[in-house]
């Protein structure tokens, strides 16, 4: 009679403090990208109805305007970050780096999108840096250079 040798039990290692902090930092950066996206919606509120490419966002703008879109984006970002923080403490924590990677793609898309389709280094620099691109407008928004104008434009809808 042959008995199967006992299988070694696989014990899961608890999440170390360093890894937990790393996952929470990734969730924080994802939140920053969400805020960046929402602020750009406010800054470009005058032209957003014409240039928005997301069909769901375009529908929200058509039904309730950019103010409604900002509310939905804010609530979605908050809910998403709360879910990611919760997931950090579960076995599904692998989702956090995946969402982080997707958030980085969104950040680079929002920052370096060229409407003319010319993605040479010269045109990216010209669109993003020299002409007051999205990153510059985001910084100016929080330095109160554009804040009042952006909010007033949003309220005029």
SS3 sequence, 63-77? HHHHHHHHHHHHHHH
How many domains are there within the chain? 1
In a domain, residue 127? The reply is: yes
The pLDDT confidence band at residue 148, using thresholds 50, 70 and 90, is: low
| Residue that is written with structure tokens 């999440």 in the block | 15
* Torsional sign, CA 59, 109, 97, 83: negative
DSSP state of 47: T
| pLDDT given for residue 74 in this prediction | 94
In a domain, residue 12? The reply is: no
The two tokens of residue 12 are: 């899961």
Q: What is the mean pLDDT of residues 137-145?
A: 71
Contact 106, 37 (CB under 8 A): yes
pLDDT in tens, 13-69: 667 889 999 999 999 999 999 999 998 888 888 888 888 888 999 999 999 988 999
Burial 70-97 (b: 16+ CB within 10 A, else e): beebeeebeebbeebeebbeeeebeebe
- Give the domain extent around 142: 17-155
In a domain, residue 99? The reply is: yes
Task: For residue 53, give every residue at least 6 positions away whose Cβ sits within 8 Å of its Cβ, in sequence order, or none.
Answer: none
In a domain, residue 88? The reply is: yes
Give the C-alpha separation, 55 to 33, whole Å.
Answer: 20
DSSP state of 90: S
The pLDDT confidence band at residue 156, using thresholds 50, 70 and 90, is: low
In a domain, residue 39? The reply is: yes
Q: What is the mean pLDDT of residues 72-82?
A: 95
């Amino acid at each position: 009679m042959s008995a199967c040798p006992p299988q070694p039990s696989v014990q899961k290692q608890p999440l170390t403090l360093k890894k937990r902090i790393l996952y929470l930092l990734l969730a924080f950066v994802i939140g920053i990208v969400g805020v960046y996206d929402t602020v750009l919606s406010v800054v470009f509120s005058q032209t957003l109805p014409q240039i928005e490419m997301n069909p769901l966002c375009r529908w929200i703008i058509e039904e309730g305007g950019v103010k409604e879109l900002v509310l939905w984006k804010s609530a979605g970002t908050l809910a998403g970050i709360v879910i990611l923080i919760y997931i950090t403490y579960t076995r599904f924590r692998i989702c956090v780096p995946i969402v982080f990677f997707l958030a980085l793609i969104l950040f680079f898309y929002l920052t370096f999108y060229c409407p003319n389709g010319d993605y040479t280094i010269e045109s990216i620099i010209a669109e993003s840096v020299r002409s007051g691109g999205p990153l510059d407008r985001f910084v100016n928004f929080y330095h109160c250079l554009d804040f009042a104008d952006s909010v007033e434009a949003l309220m005029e809808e």
